Structure formats: structure tokens, C-alpha cells
Amino acid sequence: MSLTFYLDKGASLDPDAPCLTLDGKSLTYGEVASLSHAVARALRRSGVAPGDKVGILSANDPTAFACVFGIARAGAVWCPINPRNAAAENAELLDLFDCSALIYQPAFDDLVAAITPNLPKLTTFVRLGDGDDLAAGFDAWLDAARDDPSAEAARPGDVVALVGTGGTTGRPKGVMLTDRNLEAMSAITLMSYPFDGRPVYLALAPLTHAAGVLCFPVLALGGEVVIMAKPDVGRFLELIERHRVTHTFLPPTLIYMVLGHPALDETDLSSLQCFWYGAAPMSAARLAEALDRIGPMAQLFGQSEAPMMISTMSPAEHRNADGTINTARLSSAGRPSPLVTVAILDQHGKPVPRGERGEICLRGSLVMAGYYRNREATAEVSAHGWHHTGDIGYLDADGYLHIVDRAKDMVITGGFNVYSAEVEQALMAHDAVRDCAVVGLPDEKWGERVTAVVQLQPGAGIDLDELTAFVKARIGGVKAPKQIEIWPDLPRSTVGKVLKTEIRSRLSTR
């Protein structure tokens, strides 16, 4: 099932319905479908063959996202390139992916000019605007191929997207996602969460990541995707009310900002059916607050290699039968999704008993085809016939999955294993803490000492001894931080994930 299926299915329901909307202006399903055919013809005229790689470098933009379906219609491979990455990282990704064509916004002219001299394989440049000395203008590029024959979409089982894992811990890897991977993701989405009527999905997070692939099941239902070109929490709340938004997704960091926004409690959120959160652990205390003040929160857990839906938790599962919040589940990542088999394995690849901790591993059609041109990494992540997530967790008696840490983030202090996520949850339960990160630093006495960096709520203050005592009362003295620092903000990746490698580096160089 090509990526074009989702768009064409929506168009078959109503070609005149709004499909992609930005700043109150909409492209209909018919217009987006026509544009995708034109992009496919132009790509083929430019020499892009089925299986070739095409990068898109753009902020959230309807035309750029429509090009994704043109790439798919040409049988080529979509390579989302995050414009917030450093120039060197984007150049590395384009080279790693063997991209032969790049479609980009004029806002990134300088970035493209900086990286192109070292990318000889990149031969076709298309500028979403007028042309220049380097690139063809978008409209002229489409017009030149108007009379060309239609292109053909990808065949079942083909790789349709190459996604970078990010280079924060070394050279990035290219995750090969097939049409069947995204079909499984979309099917799980539609069977696991509420969709009543034609959905309206608000995309604030980058369409190059989770917010983008969540569009596919929405389009298959003929829904409208309302796009935000840049993050703005106040605007986000306005758009929910104005467009009667039914579905949206934010990482926890942005949800904390929503909870702190003065307009939240006056905004009409009654249209919401499903407010997804994921991409990073969320404070159980903040989640409980969100359930009360926002409403239908819905968790998803996945990774680039198994997009979005390893486990799910619908809005209803956050509550007991009597409507009260099920606090025991708030720290979980939901239950393994219907089309995925999850196992908790020890270091030898053997399953551990229910309730014991080990690495979260999975099988199923959600799992990637492998890492592009990297057999060694593919073999390593596929050891023992399972896909290894690198996350440590356990399954509870009710089958809910609990993630306790990344394997590399576990702190061994005084001979005890301390999972940073557990300490972070305890810290986040304090009203003054907005966000935090816990790492292990070398210590002569303990081997490693549990170290926390805390970002406070705006205007808040706290005594560090009081905060330490607060954590000890919840999880005990062994797990409580031996060192706590207050920072004005935490270093984050371009998609908002806290960079613990940078935190360790800063702390270690003092």
C-alpha cells in the first residue's frame, strides 16, 4: 500500500473537502491529489527513478507535505530532513541516504548553499518558490513536466521512507520504513483510539517526525490536517477552538507549556477526542493534571525503527470505570498494540518472568526493514530474532508496559541499579519542577552518583535540601540524587528530546 493510498482514499470520500490547511487557507483533497501527480511527473522528468531518494527540507508547510505523496507516486523514497538540524548533520544525512533530489523552502537557501558543494550525488534542486542559480522554481518545474506520462507508485513491500535516527551519539543511521510498516502503524492507530466522524488533526510538532506519519490515518478518513508553521502554544489553543480540532499530538515538554499557559482554562477543548502524547517519558503528576484540565489524553510509544505504535493507551484506559483517574496506569506506556508482539528479554535473549525487568523487544509488521547500508547495525538490533528497542522495562499483571529507562541511562550506584526515569518521575511530582533529567556521574565512593538537573516552573524557587527530602520520601535514599542543579533550561534535540549526553558533558567538565 503506497503512501498515496491515504490521500487517494480521502479524496474518494470528498475531493472538495479541506485536506491541508494553514493560516485559514486550505488545499482540498482534489488539489493535493493533482499536485502529487504533477510532482511525480516532474520528478520522473528530472531523472528520479523508482527507488531513488528525494529529500524534503522544510518547516511545516502544506505544499511541502503534498510533495511527500508526489515522491511516493513516482515510486521514489521520501527522506524527511529536519531544518532545525545543524548544516553538517543534514549534509551527513543527505549523503548517507544517497539523495539525488532535494525539495526545499527558500528560507533555507543559506543552509542548502552551505551543504551542496560536498554532495555530488545531489543533482536535482527544487525551490518552493522562484528559481535561482542553483534550483528550479517549483511552479516552472511542474509546468515543464505537464505533458509527461503519469508516474507509477511504489510496489507493495517497497521502502517508502528513510528516516534519520539523529547523530547525538555518533554517526546517524537511516531507518528503512516500508509501506507495510506505515500500514501497520495506521491500522493500529485506527483500531486503538477514538475516531468519531471526520477528524480534524492539528499538527504543531514537526511533520518530519511523529506529527507527519500520524497524518496518514487521518487522511484515510477524509480528515482535515491543520498545520502550524512554527510552535506557538497560545496559537495552538486558539486553533483547537476555532477549527474544532478532534486529534493532536505533542511531546511532554510542549504539554507542560500548554498546562502553564494562562489561556488554557478559558479555551473550549470540547471537540477533542484524542490528545496524543509520546516521544519522551511524561510526568505522571503532570499527566493527571492534563487529564483534568485538557481531557482525552492518549499515549503512544514507539521509535523510528517501529513507528509510533509499539504500545498504546486510549483516553478511556486512563480512567477507571467510575470515571476517576487510574493513577497506577499513568506511569505505564500502555499495552502492546494489537499487531505487535512484545517480549521482555534478558541479555541472552531469553524472556524474563512477568513483572521482572529486561530489554523491551518486539516482532511484527511494524518493525523496519533495517538500517540503510548498515548490515552490522541491523544484525545487532535484530539479535535473537527480535527487534531490540534499547529500552528497559517490564509488563505488569494487567499487561501494561512500563518503561523504566534507556539501557544506556541506567545508573549503578553503590552496587544498586537506579533507573533515571523513576527518579525523574519523583522530581516531577514537586509543584516547582517543570522538567528535569537524571544522569550518572563518576564517583569515587559510589561508582556513579545519581545527579539531577532541574528546570523550575516560571517564577518558582526551591530549597535543594527540601527537594532532596521530597524525593527520598517517595523512592528512598539510595535512588535520591546526591547532586541537584538548577538550570534555566535543559539542552534539547531539534525534536525536543533532552540531550543527556550534553548534560553529562557539561557536568563532567567542571
Lowest mean pLDDT among 24-33, 234-243, 429-438: 429-438
Per-residue confidence band for 198, with pLDDT thresholds at 50, 70 and 90:
very high
Burial of 194 (0-12, 13-18, 19+ CB in 10 A): middle
- Measured CA to CA in angstroms, residue 338 lies from 236, 353, 449 at distances of 32, 21, 40
pLDDT score, position 275? 98
Q: How far apart are CA 286 and CA 440, in angstroms?
A: 25
- Within 33-173, strands assigned E span 53-57, 77-81, 99-104, 124-127, 136-137, 159-164
Per-residue confidence band for 169, with pLDDT thresholds at 50, 70 and 90:
very low
- Within 107-246, strands assigned E span 124-127, 136-137, 159-164, 174-178, 200-203, 224-227
pLDDT over threshold 60, residue 38: yes
pLDDT over threshold 70, residue 217: yes
Q: Is the separation of the CB atoms in 104 and 137 below 8 Å?
A: no
Per-residue confidence band for 167, with pLDDT thresholds at 50, 70 and 90:
very low
Residue 267 DSSP class: S
- Mean of pLDDT values over 267-282: 92
Residue 492 DSSP class: B
Q: How far apart are CA 313 and CA 284, in angstroms?
A: 14
Per-residue confidence band for 432, with pLDDT thresholds at 50, 70 and 90:
very high
pLDDT tens per residue across span 230-241: 889 999 999 999
Q: How far apart are CA 296 and CA 292, in angstroms?
A: 9
Set out the domains of the chain in order of their start, with CATH numbers: 4-180 (3.40.50.12780), 410-508 (3.30.300.30)
pLDDT over threshold 70, residue 465: yes
220 grid coordinates: 484515510
pLDDT over threshold 60, residue 166: no
Q: How far apart are CA 210 and CA 191, in angstroms?
A: 18
pLDDT over threshold 70, residue 121: yes
Q: Which helix (H) or strand (E) holds 313?
A: strand 306-313
- Single-letter amino acid code for the residue at 478: V
pLDDT over threshold 80, residue 281: no
Q: How far apart are CA 197 and CA 158, in angstroms?
A: 32
- Average pLDDT of the chain, as a whole number: 92
Per-residue confidence band for 368, with pLDDT thresholds at 50, 70 and 90:
very high
The strand order across the sheet containing 447-456 reads 433-443, 447-456, 483-486
Instruction: Classify the phi-psi angles of 101: left when phi > 0, otherwise alpha if psi is within -120 to 50, otherwise beta.
Output: beta
106 contact partners, CB below 8 Å, separation of at least 6: 127, 128, 129, 130
Nearest alpha-carbon partner for 272 in 291, 238, 247, 289: 247
Per-residue confidence band for 168, with pLDDT thresholds at 50, 70 and 90:
very low
Is the model more confident about 300 or about 172? 300
pLDDT tens per residue across span 85-113: 778 888 989 999 999 999 999 999 999 99
54 contact partners, CB below 8 Å, separation of at least 6: 43, 48, 71, 74, 76, 77, 78, 79, 99, 100, 101, 102, 103
pLDDT score, position 494? 66
With H, G, I as helix, E, B as strand and everything else as coil, classify residue 231.
Answer: coil
pLDDT score, position 170? 56
Q: What percent of the chain has pLDDT over 90?
A: 74
493 grid coordinates: 534535540
Per-residue confidence band for 398, with pLDDT thresholds at 50, 70 and 90:
very high
pLDDT tens per residue across span 221-262: 999 999 999 889 999 999 999 999 999 999 888 898 999 999
Is the model more confident about 112 or about 493? 112
Q: What percent of the chain has pLDDT over 70?
A: 97
Lowest mean pLDDT among 132-146, 158-172, 324-338, 429-443: 158-172
Q: How far apart are CA 332 and CA 327, in angstroms?
A: 10
Lowest mean pLDDT among 22-36, 226-240, 493-507: 493-507
pLDDT score, position 252? 86
pLDDT tens per residue across span 316-360: 999 999 999 999 999 999 999 999 999 999 989 999 999 999 999
pLDDT score, position 49? 93
Q: How far apart are CA 77 and CA 85, in angstroms?
A: 20
Instruction: Find where cell 528559481 sits.
Output: 131
Per-residue confidence band for 498, with pLDDT thresholds at 50, 70 and 90:
confident
Instruction: Classify the phi-psi angles of 137: left when phi > 0, otherwise alpha if psi is within -120 to 50, otherwise beta.
Output: beta
pLDDT over threshold 80, residue 493: no
110 grid coordinates: 543559506
Nearest alpha-carbon partner for 4 in 197, 156, 191, 108: 156
Q: How far apart are CA 136 and CA 103, in angstroms?
A: 10
pLDDT over threshold 80, residue 416: no
pLDDT score, position 415? 66
Is the model more confident about 193 or about 172? 193
